[in-house]
Chain A
Amino acid sequence: MILAYLILILIAGGLIAWLAGKWNKELPRFIALFALFTDLFLTVMIYLQYSNSDTNDWMLVYSASWIPHFGISLYLALDGLSILMLLLTFILGIISVLISWKEIDEHTGFFHFNILWILSGITGVFLSLDLFLFYFFWELMLIPMYFLISIWGHTNRIYASYKFFIYTQASGLIMFLAILVLYFIHGKNTGVYTFSYPELIGTTMSPATAILLMLGFLVAFLVKLPVVPLHNWLPDAHTEAPTAGSLILAGLLLKTGAYGLLRFVIPIFPEASVTFAPFGMLLGVIGILYGAKLAFAQTDLKRLVAYTSVSHMGFVILGVYAFNELAYQGVVMQMIAHAISTGALFILVGQLQERIHTRDINRMGGLWKQVPVMGAIGLIFSMASLGLPGLGNFVAEFLTLMGTFKANVLMTCLASLGLVGATLYSLRILQKVFYGKERTVHVIKDLSLRERMIAGVLIVAIVYLGLLPQQIFNTAKPALAKSLNSINNQSSGGKNEKSGTYNFVPEPVSTNQ
């Protein structure tokens, strides 16, 4: 039941915030914070209680019937992967409320309603085990996000919000179609018509059908991730959204795509996934390199940061199709580390725009002298973005690439060029914004205490992930094992031949003395 509360608190909180906003401008902020802190507290409690249990099964399950006639139920469950994602969701949610404290001044009630409803959709996505329910939450994320962009966005917000909505909506519908077909195939095979994920996992179907259905799921997830060439909504949506919107888009919405791959695509379609793997990796490499290239070319700082997401998410799909634990741990770490580092960069861009009223890097320069604290934060997160060891992104990219190296040497070599690309665009940010000749004439203020505290939390988080990532690995491990088992069971033998080049590799030796 506590799982359902996690979602309900946000939904109710959103409604109350909306109503309260009609009455007082500041109240919705506190209501939103309260709802999010409650959820965070509950999640931490669950985590503390279950983190030591070694079961490979779900930590918590909640199930209630919804529309029994069609086999639809409120089926929620939590494992290591989802709890990590939930923690991320609530922490970033709190930050997105705090970061809008001064930026958003109009319709605060409706604004916070949207924020909380997006987050409730995301929470639902991370918890649902009923595919119909999953699709419901998948759609629930979109509409408030559409409002967020189109009402509180920047100059070109209407175009961006349409584009975002059409891309995600169209791809979501294709996924829904695939869900329905899967539902009917399973029903025909067994006589039980259900949307329940554990039941659907073992569905037998012809390889061709499996590939078609998998592509249906993939489209939705790859648009969200995003993968080149389905990424075009992202730069527009990220650039035009208010800071909180960009933060949630980059930090959480993209992660639902990655989560979908790990949770649904791989376990439901293991064989088809193995067939698709080379293409998946190729898409990853293209994303890494093309995203980096586009980021390097941009002059709009926010757009630049947006394209870095395309590049970083390339590592996710690359790792997902490597099918080994090393890469999967890297993928999970990338989901978390990227949320923090890119989120921090978006916050920084928002703060800059608030102060100098432009995002054009050709009109910035030499800002270090006036705002050294912002400069230092920019430095830290640019370094995270280029994968400096000691920060979370390095752990993520290192493990992903090492895992991929086991599966496909060529793709790894190509992908590692992305590290050089990341250096190019990250250093360009620093040079254009903080170093060089001073261009701004007016005096600008460095970060306020509130802004410093937010940045401080993010810095501590990214360093923690970089130096003490083991807790994350331990938490994610059982959940990742489930995905990997489905691959290994389906294609035992076949897979070994695939990685046969290194069959002479001895078992890893522990370094514990």
Chain B
Amino acid sequence: MEIYLALIPIFPLLGFLILSLTGFRLSQKANAIVGAGSVGISALLTIIQGIAFLSSPTEDGAISVRLWEWMNAGGFSAEISLKMDALSLIFCFVITFVGFLIHIYSIEFMKNDDGFARFFAYMNLFVSSMLILVLADNLVLLYLGWEGVGLCSYLLIGFWYKEPANGDAARKAFIITRIGDTAMLLGLFLLFISFGTLNIDQLMTQAPLIWEKGSMMPVLAAALLLGGALGKSAQLPLQTWLPDAMAGPSPVSALIHAATMVTAGVYLIARSHVLFMLAPVVQTAVAIIGALTLLIAGFSALAQHDLKRILAYSTISQIGYMFLALGIGAWSAGIFHFMIHAFFKALLFLAAGAVIAVLDEEHDIIKMGGLRRKLPAIFITFLIGSASLSALPLITAGFYSKDQILWFAWSSENGSLWLWLAGIVGAFLTSLYTFRMVFITFFGETGTEPTHKPGKFMMIPITILAVLSILGGFIELPESWAHLQLFSHSLNKVFPTISLSHKGIPEIFFQILSAVVAMSGIYIAWLIYLKKLKPAESPSFDRIGHFFYKGWGFDKLYDFVIVKPVVWFSEIDKKDFIDSFFTGITSVTFMFNRILSLLQNGKLRWYVTAVAIGIAFILTVMINL
């Protein structure tokens, strides 16, 4: 049974090898079968494994398989071994299942591209690395997956390599995440010298025994790991790469930059929650960073007019919610939102990709309009995704996942009024920018005409995701409603239960409030963008809008503080000043050579003078002695 676990990441890896070694010889159909098929098999195996796992739970709530010993030197050992518990299972499910749908979609999306085989090779490598990341039983192997997904993200953002801007976006993503990764690596070192192992289970059992809560070491270790999480999950202050990452093909944005890779930070924090609980300062920082990020990104999303950039900022904002949940100790709520978000955001990206494709690469929503009549199927599914993103009450999955976070932000012990307030303002922003996008794109006057309709390879995955964006929420109802918490129950062996401090106000009040907020966001979007009831135009308003549009000026700041100095510094000393010291020695030698060779000029009177001076000198010296 355990060996099937190893097969889950191996199939996509095999797919990658086949595609990269022989892909250029195979037909497009064969490439598609290998590329999508390998992920499909993984998805199937995950589901089988999941059913077996849930129906007959093991003693410690996990199954593991050891493949081989990776490194064993100088007291350090790491193995290539995989371990699956409920948390990994949920991630595996999302990665393989949503990944499979996106692969199917890509068959049609990429069909006329030269790099068809290359695309599927990179995608398969990504799926494999991501699976290793979530299945690793030690932090070094996790880091292998972590860097592997970073590589694939880089390769896929810059997939259309002929455009230099795509290459720049890809490098930006790689470099910014690498900065976070380096912090994470130092965190690994700190953990190793403190515990002599990097096995996750051992670390998490030993840490509370050796480290005191709130002392310096856990704070340092958690902060360094957080550095890695911030980079990968595009949270403040390392969020700037994600909007640019939209240069990649839309399926890439859906899979990597919405559903899976960007949530790796969420996984890391959840996986090492013991450590974060030992460092309350850092855990609070996670919540605050989440709250700030969700607001900043929400405002930025409001000002964008590139369809994919709106969704990118929205992703940053929604991951902010997940961080907020983790920071207040609502572990399973954060993971639940991850899963639901993967459904509806993948749906939105795929639908947006379809819209962009049929409009001949038109990204600007201002130039779109009235598409609901031309593309009814896309419209309905996009609307479902948007409703879920806006947390439309009762019927959408997004409501159940986001409402849980908002409720805990207020009621849990680590929660506070401010965190809740940030969440609720963010919820308003979310529905506002989401329906701004919906109204401008699908309603109003007709803009660019679609050239064709998306085919069934694109529509079937979108439809399945739309169904999940609705139904996914019903597996976890609020506790005050009914005893149906399948999701958090499955995670109860992984996470401690959240402790609430009842602050008097009943949950239903918050639910109604957040429902009202979500609806009013949609209503205001309707007023402004359909009824054209624009607030008074003023230059200062435009300036703020531009500020939001530019992502709060972070790019400019980093460019000024980091990029420019680095480039300047490398340019001024290109020739290596140390070399001039040594060439200096040579020049001095040559100079002496020239001076001294002047003396040997073959003129007799020079020699006679020199001899005379020499004699005079020697005589003087002798007399004085």
Residues of B within 8 Å of A231, CB to CB, are 578
Knowing A232-B578, A419-B178, A511-B202, say if A506 contacts B71 (CB, 8 Å).
Answer: no
Give the residue of A325, A406, A436 whose beta carbon is less than 8 angstroms from that of B161. A436
Contact A510 B74 (CB under 8 A): no
Judge if B479 is at the interface, Cβ distance under 8 Å.
no
- Quick one: which of B160-185 are within 8 Å of A by CB? 161-162, 164, 167-168, 171, 174-175, 178-179, 181-182, 185
Q: How far is the CB of A377 from chain B (nearest CB, A)?
A: 12
Q: How far is the CB of A456 from chain B (nearest CB, A)?
A: 10
Q: Which A residue's beta carbon lies closest to that of B569?
A: A293
Q: How far is the CA of A22 from the CA of B73 in the complex (A)?
A: 51
Q: How far is the CA of A232 from the CA of B69 in the complex (A)?
A: 41
Judge if A420 is at the interface, Cβ distance under 8 Å.
yes
Judge if A123 is at the interface, Cβ distance under 8 Å.
no
Knowing A324-B74, A376-B20, A390-B148, say if A509 contacts B66 (CB, 8 Å).
Answer: no
Of the stretches B138-146, B416-424, B456-464, the one at the interface is: B138-146
Judge if B570 is at the interface, Cβ distance under 8 Å.
yes
Q: How far is the CA of A294 from the CA of B174 in the complex (A)?
A: 20
Knowing A232-B578, A511-B79, say if A477 contacts B570 (CB, 8 Å).
Answer: no
Give the residue of A390, A436, A468 whose beta carbon is less than 8 angstroms from that of B162. A436
Q: How far is the CA of A328 from the CA of B73 in the complex (A)?
A: 10
- Quick one: which of A307-348 are within 8 Å of B by CB? 324-329
Residues of B within 8 Å of A413, CB to CB, are 186
Q: How far is the CB of B119 from chain A (nearest CB, A)?
A: 13
Contact B74 A328 (CB under 8 A): yes
Knowing A293-B573, A436-B167, say if A399 contacts B71 (CB, 8 Å).
Answer: yes
Q: How far is the CA of A383 from the CA of B148 in the complex (A)?
A: 10
State which size class the interface on A falls in.
Answer: 35 or more
Q: How far is the CA of A173 from the CA of B387 in the complex (A)?
A: 78
Judge if B72 is at the interface, Cβ distance under 8 Å.
yes
Using an 8 Å CB-CB cutoff, how does the interface string of B118-139 with A read, 1 for contact, 0 for none? 1000000000000000000010
Residues of B within 8 Å of A417, CB to CB, are 182
Judge if B47 is at the interface, Cβ distance under 8 Å.
no
Contact B167 A431 (CB under 8 A): yes
Q: How far is the CB of A384 from chain B (nearest CB, A)?
A: 12
Contact A438 B162 (CB under 8 A): yes
Judge if A508 is at the interface, Cβ distance under 8 Å.
yes
Give the residue of A368, A389, A402, A477 whose beta carbon is less than 8 angstroms from that of B76. A402
Q: How far is the CB of A387 from chain B (nearest CB, A)?
A: 8
Q: How far is the CA of A403 from the CA of B576 in the complex (A)?
A: 31
Residues of A within 8 Å of B186, CB to CB, are 405, 412-413, 416
Judge if B68 is at the interface, Cβ distance under 8 Å.
yes
Contact B185 A416 (CB under 8 A): yes
Using an 8 Å CB-CB cutoff, how does the interface string of A393-415 with B read, 1 for contact, 0 for none? 01100110111011000001100
Residue from B74, B179, B182, B573 with most neighbouring chain A CB atoms (10 Å): B74
Using an 8 Å CB-CB cutoff, how does the interface string of B52-84 with A read, 1 for contact, 0 for none? 000000000000001011111111111110000
Residues of B within 8 Å of A507, CB to CB, are 75, 196
Residues of B within 8 Å of A390, CB to CB, are 144, 148
Contact A470 B179 (CB under 8 A): no
Residues of B within 8 Å of A509, CB to CB, are 195-197, 202
Judge if A513 is at the interface, Cβ distance under 8 Å.
yes
Q: How far is the CA of A470 from the CA of B79 in the complex (A)?
A: 11
Judge if A158 is at the interface, Cβ distance under 8 Å.
no
Using an 8 Å CB-CB cutoff, how does the interface string of A359-389 with B read, 1 for contact, 0 for none? 0000000101100100010010001001011
Residues of B within 8 Å of A389, CB to CB, are 140, 143-144, 147-148
Contact A510 B77 (CB under 8 A): yes
Q: Which A residue's beta carbon lies closest to that of B138?
A: A511
Residues of B within 8 Å of A511, CB to CB, are 77-79, 138, 197, 199, 202
Residues of A within 8 Å of B361, CB to CB, are none
Q: How far is the CA of A295 from the CA of B287 in the complex (A)?
A: 40
Please give the number of chain B residues whose Cβ is less than 8 angstroms from any Cβ of chain A in the complex: 64
Judge if A217 is at the interface, Cβ distance under 8 Å.
no
Tell me the interface secondary structure of chain B in the complex.
helix
Judge if B582 is at the interface, Cβ distance under 8 Å.
yes
Residues of B within 8 Å of A366, CB to CB, are 161-162
Q: How far is the CA of A507 from the CA of B193 in the complex (A)?
A: 9
Judge if A435 is at the interface, Cβ distance under 8 Å.
yes
Knowing A326-B75, A412-B189, say if A508 contacts B197 (CB, 8 Å).
Answer: yes
Q: How far is the CB of B495 from chain A (nearest CB, A)?
A: 24
Q: Which B residue's beta carbon lies closest to that of A422?
A: B178
Residues of B within 8 Å of A294, CB to CB, are 570, 573-574, 576
Give the residue of A416, A427, A435 whose beta carbon is less than 8 angstroms from that of B175. A427
Judge if A147 is at the interface, Cβ distance under 8 Å.
no
Q: How far is the CB of B154 from chain A (nearest CB, A)?
A: 8
Q: How far is the CA of A418 from the CA of B602 in the complex (A)?
A: 59
Using an 8 Å CB-CB cutoff, how does the interface string of A412-453 with B read, 1 for contact, 0 for none? 110011011001100110010011111000000000000000
Contact A420 B75 (CB under 8 A): no
Residues of A within 8 Å of B196, CB to CB, are 505-509
Residues of A within 8 Å of B151, CB to CB, are 383, 388
Residues of A within 8 Å of B138, CB to CB, are 511
Q: Which B residue's beta carbon lies closest to that of A425?
A: B570
Contact B179 A403 (CB under 8 A): no
Contact B79 A402 (CB under 8 A): no
Q: How far is the CA of A394 from the CA of B282 in the complex (A)?
A: 29
Q: How far is the CB of B554 from chain A (nearest CB, A)?
A: 18
Give the residue of B140, B566, B573 whose beta carbon is less than 8 angstroms from that of A398. B140
Give the residue of A228, A423, A508 whose beta carbon is less than 8 angstroms from that of B75. A508
Residues of B within 8 Å of A508, CB to CB, are 75-77, 196-197
Judge if A30 is at the interface, Cβ distance under 8 Å.
no
Judge if A502 is at the interface, Cβ distance under 8 Å.
yes
Q: How far is the CB of A492 from chain B (nearest CB, A)?
A: 18
Residues of B within 8 Å of A205, CB to CB, are none
Q: How far is the CB of A412 from chain B (nearest CB, A)?
A: 7
Contact B574 A399 (CB under 8 A): no
Q: How far is the CA of A400 from the CA of B77 in the complex (A)?
A: 14
Contact B162 A473 (CB under 8 A): no
Using an 8 Å CB-CB cutoff, how does the interface string of B12-27 with A read, 1 for contact, 0 for none? 0000000010001000
Judge if B412 is at the interface, Cβ distance under 8 Å.
no
Give the residue of A395, A399, A427 whose beta carbon is less than 8 angstroms from that of B171. A427
Knowing A416-B185, A473-B73, say if A513 contacts B197 (CB, 8 Å).
Answer: no
Q: How far is the CA of A105 from the CA of B60 in the complex (A)?
A: 68
Q: How far is the CB of A423 from chain B (nearest CB, A)?
A: 5
Q: Which B residue's beta carbon lies closest to that of A235?
A: B576
Contact B71 A419 (CB under 8 A): no
Given contacts A297-B571, A502-B193, 14 further A-B contacts (CB under 8 A): A232-B578, A294-B573, A376-B20, A386-B178, A402-B189, A405-B186, A412-B189, A416-B186, A420-B178, A427-B175, A435-B158, A436-B161, A468-B68, A506-B195
B residues apposed to A, CB below 8 Å: 20, 24, 66, 68-80, 118, 138, 140, 143-144, 147-148, 151, 154-155, 158, 161-162, 164, 167-168, 171, 174-175, 178-179, 181-182, 185-186, 188-190, 192-197, 199, 202, 210, 566, 569-571, 573-574, 576, 578-579, 581-582
Q: Top 9 closest A-B pairs, CB basis?
A: A508-B196, A325-B74, A326-B74, A389-B144, A508-B75, A435-B161, A297-B570, A405-B189, A329-B73
Q: List 30 A-B contacts (CB under 8 A).
A: A232-B578, A293-B570, A294-B570, A294-B574, A294-B576, A327-B74, A329-B74, A376-B20, A388-B147, A389-B140, A398-B185, A399-B76, A405-B190, A416-B182, A416-B186, A419-B185, A434-B161, A435-B162, A435-B164, A436-B164, A437-B162, A470-B70, A502-B193, A502-B194, A507-B75, A507-B196, A508-B197, A509-B202, A511-B79, A511-B197
